[in-house]
Amino acid sequence: MFSSIAVLFCLFLFVPVIRFDVPYSTVVEASDGSLLGAKIATDGQWRFPLQDIVPEKFRKCIIRFEDRKFYFHPGIDPFALGRAILQNIRARKIVSGASTLSMQVVRLSRKGEPRTLWEKFLEMGLTLRLELAKPKREILSLYAAIAPFGGNVVGLEAAAWRYFGCSADQLSWGESAGLAVLPNAPSYIFPGKNNELLKTKRDRLLHHLLIDHTIDSVTYELAVSEPLPGKPGKLPDLAHHLMNRCASPTNAAIVKTTIDRSLQIAAQRIIDQQMPQLKGNHIYNAACLVAEIRTGKILAYIGNADWSDSHGGAVDMIEARRSTGSILKPFLYTAMLDGGKMMPNALTPDLPLYFSGYAPQNFDLQFSGAVPASEALIRSLNVPAVFMLKNYTPVRFLDILRRVGLTTFTKDAGHYGLSLILGGGEATLRELVSAYGSMARVLNRYNKKSEYYSGDYRLVDFLPSTPNTELPDGKFVYRAASIWQTFNILTELNRPEEEAGWQQLSSSGRLAWKTGTSFGFRDAWAIGVNPEYVIGVWAGNASGEGRPGLTGGQAAAPILFEVSSLLSSQCWFEKPLSGMMPVEVCRESGYRASVNCNEVDTIMVPESCLNSTPCPYHHKVHLDANRQYLVNAECYPSGRIVNENWFILPPAMEYYYRKYHPAYRTLPPWLPGARQGSEIQMVELIYPDDRLMVYLPRNNDGQKGQVIFQAAHRRSGAPIFWHLDDTYLGSTRDIHQMAASPLPGDHKLVIVDELGNSSTRYFKVVK
């Protein structure tokens, strides 16, 4: 007794526990534990990491086939050992082995060692040490993880997927028995090679299970009728780019993700259905990301349409930096509301604008003079957005973008300038989806708790994590009311033609969404959000090649709406009334009403809007008794003067605005002989802007080109006289444009009408 204990003690002290220094595959699982994909180990083997639990069916099959006394011996079965010795002596050769499952685990750990008698004794010692160190459950798990199953398939889980296309715990009795007999001679009875022998072994094992009452007769008959596995099939590859992000050559593991497998498959199918049309226009890449608002968990991750495609399919476009186009406009609109810079529907200039040698254009190449800010957002107008950014300043807006989680804007505001709102910077789809989702999370949380949590702004993630539970800190990027106002406006966007009749889709729900198109038609964006989910889509070419028709509305939005129809969500954001106030607004201008506004509405707005400017466009004007002329007390009897509140836009805005608004009333002329007042601007330069840097082009013949100055006058047919640096250039009527070729340097441009009304601009011509 004492000697036995001493032997065990020596084994425990001096014999090391076996180690498996082999590379493993990276295995990526969906949230339900199903396989999304795997990356082959560095030694070329499909070897999945160790699983804690061996499925019951395989456990019973392998123990019955390989080691019936597994739970009763100390790693070495003395009866089996004695039987094997006698059989081998009688046959004068090795005809029987006595290896237990524990001994096979040890043998597999010493792969490549010669099969000598000394090696056999050494393995027996290592087996006893293994039994001392680990419980039977772990030893069986080790065996299931490293047993060979033919070819480069190692381990039960890899074998189940390669041969049967399912996880090991989903195997039937017939499938479990078929795999249980493979490690005994994997190269000899390799599936598809010796099927008759494989079937004989499998069916014999099933018969033993029937005799042992492990399975009943019905199960037995069904199991033996099951077909044998064929050659190893391909593993699932449902999230190739995500799998590559999870893979680590030095730390292979089972990566549990938050991906919803069914949603991942359905979203991929939608992209597959859209790609033929996109490829017809030589657009080869698309990506889609879906995340849950409350937790920030990623539910679907499609990094590219087809990872095997030669047109940049291997590039993960969810993490690629691409020009933002118009997708940032909701962030600016929300910031303007939150900073008290404007009312939700305030008129915003929409007229020619020039900066740094660049003239932004709306997509339709038209100017409306002035449009409500909400309409500018809905129509994604570029010029009003630039005017908004000019008002808010790029410095402040850049700070906002960084605070909502966009880390790719690494330059200072001077680098981006006003082009920041039109795609002058780059962002990733993941960070954009995160930012939109964070805004929704802030709104949801505020509506429930009337508190702000800075931790609500965070990156969406595909790894399970604990939901944000920190205490409120009162810090916010946007107030909830401003976010709600923006999202509410974004539900009014016209849907793409491909999504006609979207209102009738029972699962579509309400969605705040925005598209974006980068300069040169290189990137198409579409992002949608509701209280439960945020969806982001990008389409384009990984190479950066632009294509006509590569717009957010045509290329990305159809995918967005198809994916949104997969998500059942009929709820909408509650209005954060505690952060809103009723205010009187001018019906014509959308500004906070002034004393001169004629028609006033009362609406609920974010309380920050109460600090915005009152209506600057309604003025009290003095008319003669017949309302035909402007007058003043110096030229007309004060008792006969009629006072009227008049909606007056600046001349440049008026010039374009009245083309689209026939009901707009221009001011009447001044009474002949009357001295005009200075309170109403009559003439205005449209181009150049003040302090503008002007670049003169070269003609085809190499000669210096001309700059075209442009102006507007309130009175149709009124002449304008042009002066450049005190040199008279000429006069214009109706169409007020004047060409000139100023030399490099600083210049002063002055225009004057016949009544002395003037406008002045200073600019600089750069070589």
Count of domains for the chain: 3
Task: Please tell me whether residues 220 and 91 are part of one structural domain.
Answer: yes
Looking at per-residue pLDDT, the higher value among 58 and 674 belongs to 58
Task: Please tell me whether residues 443 and 554 are part of one structural domain.
Answer: yes
Q: What is the CA radius of gyration of the chain?
A: 38
Q: CB of 187 within 8 A of CB of 150?
A: yes
State the virtual CA torsion across 319, 321, 323, 326 in degrees, nearest 10: 40
What span, in angstroms and rounded, lies between the C-alpha atoms of 610 and 581? 8
Residue 728 maps to which CATH number? Answer: 2.60.40.10
pLDDT of 76 reads 80
Task: Please tell me whether residues 336 and 217 are part of one structural domain.
Answer: no
What span, in angstroms and rounded, lies between the C-alpha atoms of 599 and 601? 7
Residue 77 maps to which CATH number? Answer: 1.10.3810.10
Summary mean pLDDT of the chain: 88
Q: How far is CA 114 from CA 17, 22, 110, 118, 609, in A?
A: 20, 19, 9, 9, 83
Q: How far is CA 707 from CA 454, 684, 751, in A?
A: 50, 18, 16
Backbone angles phi, psi at 273, to 5 degrees: -70, -30
Residue 238 domain flag:
no
Q: How many residues does the chain have?
A: 767
Residue 341 domain flag:
yes
Residue 36 domain flag:
yes
Last residue of a domain, one of 529, 564, 599: 564
pLDDT of 528 reads 96
Task: Please tell me whether residues 460 and 339 are part of one structural domain.
Answer: yes
What span, in angstroms and rounded, lies between the C-alpha atoms of 486 and 572? 13
Query: Using H for helix, E for strand and C for coil, what is the string for 417-441?
Result: HHHHHHCCCEECHHHHHHHHHHHHH
Residue 465 maps to which CATH number? Answer: 3.40.710.10
Residue 286 domain flag:
no
Task: Please tell me whether residues 336 and 446 are part of one structural domain.
Answer: yes
Nearest alpha carbon to residue 763 among 693, 687, 711: 693
pLDDT of 227 reads 92
In whole angstroms, what separates CA 762 from the centre of its chain?
A: 44
Looking at per-residue pLDDT, the higher value among 507 and 571 belongs to 571
Nearest alpha carbon to residue 522 among 277, 285, 275: 285
Q: What is the largest CA-CA distance in the chain?
A: 139
Residue 669 domain flag:
no
Mean pLDDT of the 288-292 span: 98
How confident is the model over 10-28, as pLDDT tens digits?
A: 545 556 667 777 888 999 9
Q: CB of 660 within 8 A of CB of 325?
A: no
pTM, to two decimals = 0.86
Query: Using H for helix, E for strand and C for coil, what is the string for 671-731?
Result: CCCCCCCCCCCCEEEEECCCCEEEECCECCCCCECCEEEEEEECCCCCCEEEEECCEEEEE
How confident is the model over 640-672, as pLDDT tens digits?
A: 999 999 999 999 899 899 999 999 999 998 888
Last residue of a domain, one of 206, 224, 242: 224
- The pLDDT-based confidence of 393 (bands split at 50, 70, 90) is very high
What span, in angstroms and rounded, lies between the C-alpha atoms of 434 and 469? 18
Q: CB of 386 within 8 A of CB of 360?
A: yes
Looking at per-residue pLDDT, the higher value among 506 and 380 belongs to 380
Residues sharing a CB contact under 8 Å with residue 16, sequence separation 6 or more, in sequence order: 126, 129
How confident is the model over 698-715, as pLDDT tens digits?
A: 776 667 778 889 999 988
pLDDT of 592 reads 97
Lowest mean pLDDT among 145-149, 175-179, 435-439: 145-149
Task: Please tell me whether residues 354 and 207 are part of one structural domain.
Answer: no
Residue 586 domain flag:
no
In whole angstroms, what separates CA 102 from the centre of its chain?
A: 49
What span, in angstroms and rounded, lies between the C-alpha atoms of 54 and 32? 18
- pLDDT tops 60 at residue 241: yes
What span, in angstroms and rounded, lies between the C-alpha atoms of 666 and 649? 9
Last residue of a domain, one of 530, 549, 564: 564
Pairing mode of beta strands 618-623, 727-732? unpaired
Residue 131 domain flag:
yes
Residue 617 domain flag:
no
Task: Please tell me whether residues 220 and 332 are part of one structural domain.
Answer: no
Looking at per-residue pLDDT, the higher value among 679 and 217 belongs to 217
Task: Please tell me whether residues 212 and 318 are part of one structural domain.
Answer: no
Cβ neighbours of 307 (radius 10 Å) = 17
pLDDT of 304 reads 96
Nearest alpha carbon to residue 138 among 59, 64, 255: 59
Percent of the chain having pLDDT more than 90? 61
pLDDT of 185 reads 73
Looking at per-residue pLDDT, the higher value among 615 and 71 belongs to 615
- pLDDT tops 50 at residue 503: no
Task: Please tell me whether residues 210 and 332 are part of one structural domain.
Answer: no
How confident is the model over 74-131, as pLDDT tens digits?
A: 878 776 666 656 666 665 555 455 688 888 888 888 776 776 767 777 878 888 888 8
Mean pLDDT of the 378-402 span: 95
Mean pLDDT of the 145-153 span: 90
Task: Please tell me whether residues 307 and 209 are part of one structural domain.
Answer: no
Looking at per-residue pLDDT, the higher value among 175 and 492 belongs to 175
Mean pLDDT of the 329-340 span: 97
- The pLDDT-based confidence of 258 (bands split at 50, 70, 90) is very high
Q: CB of 738 within 8 A of CB of 709?
A: yes
Task: Please tell me whether residues 340 and 200 are part of one structural domain.
Answer: no
- The pLDDT-based confidence of 506 (bands split at 50, 70, 90) is very low
Mean pLDDT of the 477-502 span: 76
**711 lies in which domain range?**
683-766
- pLDDT tops 50 at residue 507: no
Looking at per-residue pLDDT, the higher value among 506 and 323 belongs to 323
